[in-house]
Structure 1
Amino acid sequence: MSTAPTSATIPIEEFETKLRETVEARGATYQHDKALILRFEDDASGADQDAYTLSSCMHDVFGIDDVEDFAIDKTSQSPRFDVLERIVAKVRQLLGARSLLIIAYIGHGIIDMESNGLQLLSESGSQKIDWSLIHESILASTDGSLQNLDVLARAVQILAASDRHSKVRSRTDGVSFTQRFRQAAYALKHAGNLSVNVESIFGELQRLKPSKAPDAVYNIIGNAHLLVLPLCHRSSSNPGNLEESSSNETSVLFKISLTGRPSDVILKDFQQLSNTIPPEFKVTVERAYESNSVLLICRASWETFARIRATLDCVFVGAIKGPCLVQDAVPQKSTRSFGDDIQNRQEG
């Protein structure tokens, strides 16, 4: 989920269609689920401890009992094939039912500037895995076992610690992303949710994010259907002192540019559309301006923004708390502003 600016303008008809598709993609549950945690044996950053933390979280929070911690042998001359073999073995265990495979990598990695592909690296740099080659190998397989596997066959949902421009702390340097993931997962569970999706986890990660930590990244490859994970409410270990999500209410400002109809009609249509979608997908207009199109500054939850950004070309502005600090400080006559008074314009 890039937060880089874009100048793209979306026809209002396309926006309406894609937003409805996003809302209607309510997700699917799975009959079987497994998790595979990958790390290099050649790693002194605490990846082994993070793997244990994540494995316990998968068991306690999501009820996934089949979690494999696979450490890539530091003497292996073909680490990519070792990983591919483990993934294929997991896939073949998921035959005959709608299934979900969660793959987590803990360790060093870089984004290749030429190919824009993910490179997984051992700490010494002597072992390297091009993740795109693994993904392409699985998708190119004629093995029928892929037909029931959502993640590999039809959609990939990615949750990463940061984008390519940021560095992430390891466990030896402070609180790791895995530890933050665990905190977010337990917070969602203790809030009484029966199930969560990846967007919910992303939203909670952002709400509980330390001030100096980079923003997490969420992205979808393939279809936009939600991946829903039921939460396990059996007796589990005490997760420690966790901050409740309600005590750190944070929402997102984003901008989107719409065209295709007169400005007042676009605003009216947007307002009517936002009134018809469920509350959990609520989007409100903070400001709207007329240009060659209609530029809308909108507010939404992190979860809603993640889903909209996965299917529509909108621009992240920033994370905010509470209302605008400057109320009507700019005279309305200085520009044709359609914000704040949308409802009045409709009624007038």
Structure 2
Amino acid sequence: MNRKHNFCAGPSTLPLEVLEEMQSELVDYQGAGLSLIEMSHRALQYDAVHRQAKRLALEVWEVPPEFDVLFIQGGASLQFAMVPLNLLGAGQCAGYVDTGSWAKGAMADARTCGDIYSAWDGSAQGERRVPDDAEIAVRDGTRYLHITSNETIDGIRFPEFPAVGVPLVADMSSELMARRIPWERFDIVYGGVQKNLGPAGMAMVFIRKEVACEPARPLARYLRYDVHSSKESLFNTPPMFAIAMVGKVLRWMRSQGGIEAMERNAQVKADLLYKEIDESEGFYSCPVDARCRSLMNVVFRLPDQALEGRFLAAADERGLLNLKGHRSVGGCRASLYNAMPREGVVELAELMRDFRRDH
């Protein structure tokens, strides 16, 4: 098979050996006579898979014991509502840092669920950077500060996490298990798994155990973190295929050197592309402040749309797929998630160099 390099922002590329392992088990899981995803979620075979995935998630990301990990259907977008519904009690508010497209989405949904405010708005700067701590305005009575650690569409990243005196909640969908974090600053870290860890349809929620308690308001059971925590993410039939794939990817990550290796590889791969951009004498341009450039989603533009179209066509011919930028911003975007091999990024850098020479 001539496997191509998939730079899609999500669903994204997955490790080939993980896909092949799942392929070998799909019809007959460990001699059971049926696939894992046909079994009861109460079956002993699936229970072992489920618990191993939870254990590996905590181990690989070096999560301290005061946190639990939850597998919740609905992706990160459901968490936009679950976070304020569970965390905001009477008289409390939450600050949100508006760094781009996904931060705006989190704020829009949170407004329907609680008292939230903008602690910093990057729109005036054209969403080119994240704020310094001193720029974040935290009000009295703030229960938490929500950040989007990496804006997938806009290619913006927090190089350091804020320390502003209130607990952080972070949407880390496109950086999930791609960098170390200071857990002592956080109450919740969540993200959709379809970028770094598995197929679409599920969020992983890392939650401080003392926070996973009965919410201050009546909520439907599925929306309550304490229900998911007390039931070990088995309150209802879980997304078994997604969880099984995540477990396999986590084992692959551990075999590659764990979170330290993922973080190091992310920097190396991103540097290859930013070098081509910065040394192109303006042929390629990145709109993001250099300090805040994403390591996961490298966004760039060419001199005009016609050249961008030619570049994307040339990339497709080389088997470098899904480099078109999000429809809301245009341009080009290369997503360099954990499973993207360095060889794929080297090929893209070579294409950028060749295309600049020819045009």
Q: TM-score, normalised by structure 2?
A: 0.28
Determine which structure has more spread, i.e. the larger CA radius of gyration.
Answer: 1
Flag the structure with higher strand content.
1
TM-score (norm 1): 0.29
